[in-house]
Amino acid sequence: MLLFPLLFLVVFQISGQKEIVPSVNQLVIIANNTGPVISKDIYGHFSEHLGACIYGGLWVGTDSKIPNTFGIRNDVLFALREMKIPNLRWPGGCFADTYHWKDGIGPQEKRASIVNTNWGNVTEDNSFGTHEFMKLTELLGCDAYINGNVGSGSVKEMAEWVEYLTSGNESPMTKLRKENGREKPWKVKYFAIGNENWGCGGNMTAEFYANNMRQYSTFLGDYSGNNLYKVACGPSDWNFGWTETLMKDEGTRDRFQGLSIHYYSIVDGWGYMGSATKFNEREWFETMRMNLQMEDIVKGHAAIMDRYDPQKKKGLVVDEWGNWFKVEPGTNPGFLYQQNTMRDAVTAAIHLNIFNHHADRVKSANIAQMINVLQSVILTKDDKMILTPTYHVFRMFRVHQDATLLKTDLKCEDYVYGDKKLPSISASASVDKEGKVHISLANLNPNKSVVVTCPVIGESYSKITGEVLTAPEMNSFNSFENPDFVKPAAFTGFSSKNGILTITMPSKSVVVLELTK
């Protein structure tokens, strides 16, 4: 029993004698002590009819000079495939509760135009609808996550959409689908019953929404071997009362498989949010502090769910998360277009590490949003495309998808700013089906490199490789003029001896290591 405390000590050779001194930063990995499987769907994304996310970002149409497949940009397709996107949420967001799916099917020239009242009051021609979205998921090899309309829709409308999508029976809906060019039904994994119904989705109370959700859920059928994972609208950030209402009644709880939560890191609040690129260390620090709050938010909702669902059959679905800053100067305020810096990269690493650690309850998550909106992984401008620092973190962390969480224990120094302090390091580890261990770390300190000792207990590994993402400044970003300014590089800042890794991480960096037997 004395062995484990000694894991937190490092042996140094001083003047020919061994001296045992405490290590400041230490990540202990128990390679033979596994936890739950980390669902690949934790690494999901979100596409809303908002600004240039869909139009110009994903969809250019078949007549575009930009290379495309069925109207979907090829450069974006290839980039998302490389990132191994597991699922994609659509059509919103707030837009979902104003969207009527029949407007977006049939011949393009006959589709009804609508005004996007949530985002910029622009006219949208519905050229990207159900068939185009499902084609996109097929081309990406990812699962569909569709958000249904509770706010302004009807039970009949939502039930018919599910039937249109997934039924192989003969019915008016399946006949309509076939007339529109799709013979076989699609598979739809996730289906949300409304979005933010406490706010833009209807300003409902939890009790009122719960009763509506029960009714809607009753009529969402499982057709032709497709089993919907129904996601109930959960709370925003700290609203634990909403979760309590949805979970405490068995009749309500039985009508869904997942409960969504939304949380955005907004420095200084909605009215005073800062710039995505022009910020000081105080704003960096506050962003990190708010990112780390996701841990307590997940724990709080999970604790409530544990009381009513100790077998953890219900999943927590964090289907909107990320940083929210002011729009870029000169852009439409309703389009939420913002740049993406090294700060966002560290943000992504913090969140993904947190979700990994709570893989027993967090079953899916979606960063907001995928292209040209908020904390995007891709930005486009006409025929140009750039990959953001956040993209590179998702690409580096893809090794955790469907891997098994490893038991870890992290002790680290604080990152201090003024009279406030935060843990300076975020980390998680997993082992994949081939037995490879992956360790993901983030250094939250923008000024100081850190040395982390990492004892690996229970297994031995002969080969270690790694990648690092860092940048000269905390607000470094990729532009259309300099698209590769922030990108990963091979990482060699480590050594290994007697089962102990020593890792030297640059300031403001993200590192992923692979250990092979």
CA neighbor of 424 nearest in space, from 509, 361, 339: 509
Q: How far apart are CA 182 and CA 168, in angstroms?
A: 11
Q: How far apart are CA 247 and CA 251, in angstroms?
A: 9
Catalytic residue among 48, 124, 286, 320: 320
SS3 52: coil
Cis peptide before 369 (omega within 30 of 0): yes
SS3 72: strand
Cis peptide before 93 (omega within 30 of 0): yes
Q: How far apart are CA 423 and CA 411, in angstroms?
A: 9
Number of H helices, E strands in the chain: 11, 28
Residue 245 CA: distances (Å) to CA of 207, 233, 365: 7, 12, 22
Q: What is the DSSP string of 238-263?
A: T-HHHHHHHHH-HHHHTT-SEEEEEE
- How far is CA 305 from its chain centroid? 21
Token representation of residue 97: 């509760």
Q: What is the DSSP string of 113-156?
A: PEEETTTTTEEE---S-HHHHHHHHHHHT-EEEEEE--SS--HH
CA neighbor of 158 nearest in space, from 168, 146, 169: 146
Token representation of residue 277: 């690129």
Would you call 160 a catalytic residue per the annotation? no
Would you call 124 a catalytic residue per the annotation? no
Catalytic residue among 124, 160, 163, 196: 196
Residue 246 backbone dihedrals phi, psi, to 5 degrees: -75, -25
Q: How far apart are CA 40 and CA 439, in angstroms?
A: 16
Q: How far apart are CA 402 and CA 41, in angstroms?
A: 9
Catalytic machinery residues:
196, 320
